[in-house]
Structure 1
Amino acid sequence: MSAPTALELLWGSPQRPRRGPKPSLSLERIVAAAIELADAEGLANLSMQRLAERLGCAKMALYRYVPGKAELIALMIDAAIGAPPELSARQGDSSEEPWRARLRLWTLRLHEGMLGHPWVLEVTLGIRPFGPNEMAWTESALTALADTALDGAERLDAVALLAGHARTIAQQSANTDTGNLEAEMARQFSDSLATRAADFPQVIAAFAESGPPQARNNALDFGIDRILDGLAALTARR
């Protein structure tokens, strides 16, 4: 019998419990331990051997559940991203149009999830198998846009724009010490330009007008607003 593929592991039916003692390992436990290891030490330090040591089992025991690291990572992504947020409750909490409020919350939660598991940013590029949780995030965002005048392709592109924006800010913030990307950039620019202010007057002016460094962390919200504004303008023309 051939080993299961990543898609089969992601979308396959859960195994029915067998009679007798509960096995010490399960696919869910393996994936959870792998996520903990990647969160703590980075994806580069994740190996089947390290994972086996963490679980207190032989390396070969893992292969009874998952055929290799590639399939394991596919399962890790879907488990780490989890289920999408409940968006319907947001409708009564905001003066925005419902679709805008829901997409704003969707993007903010996606960004938070990426920052919570920075290794996800490394492995969610290009063509790869999508699991049920990731698909549910897409379904959730498309549902928020279902009553707008956008067609199917435009709704998909809108979701890609918002996800891409969340990802870009998360990638930048993941490499900072505080998570406040703009504040750290401002400090670095200030040090770099301390003696060259006359050469870069617009940079100096822009940072001066944006408030103290600790208050600068608005790129995520600003980008969400501009994307939603563009979508609103497009729907208004319809």
Structure 2
Amino acid sequence: MIAIFLKSLIIGYSGAVMPGPMFTYTVDKSLHHGAKSGLLVSAGHVFLELILVILIYLGAGKYLTTDTAKTIIGLLGGIILVYLGFGMMKEVYLNQISLDPKSSKDEKQGSMLLAGIVLSASNPYFIIWWSVVGLALIMNAYASFGIMGVLAFYIGHIISDISWFSFVSVLVSRTRSLINLKVYKVIIVALAACLIFFGVSFFAASLRYIL
């Protein structure tokens, strides 16, 4: 069972460290709200993963990989990411950001938890990974140790997510004091552009299924 845990941990890190909407959003929120952001965003992410593990275990994985599911997830996810990206640019344009965490807009912890869920659910590649790779790993863990094997797999996976995004958040929050306001705004705009790019990519990929 230790082997399943370690395998899940390593595979989890290989996915977590790849740049994507979650990483981009975590960096943005860490600049605004400090080191707690990574933990909160990843908590929403791992909650959705728990739901997916349960659904896949119950046999729903095959429905998540259908063209209809890919299209709906991609279209809605693309819209959400573009909306978040333009929202970040709007804050820069209206000069609503600050390097002082006390003067930045308060954001309830629940909103970052929810964002972790929404950003994960809006990424069609996240759903596909869990429906294909995740399914194989879950079934292998179950065949070896039953429900305890599945639990070991899930714990290993979420530790990789939480530890990585928490590390990113702490690193960003500790170094933001070295950044001046102009550079800070450039970083926010760049992160926003990344979110918009991801959103357009998801949307375009979904249109290919429709056409």
TM-score (norm 1): 0.27
Between Structure 1 and Structure 2, the one with more helix by share is 2
Bigger Rg over Cα = 1
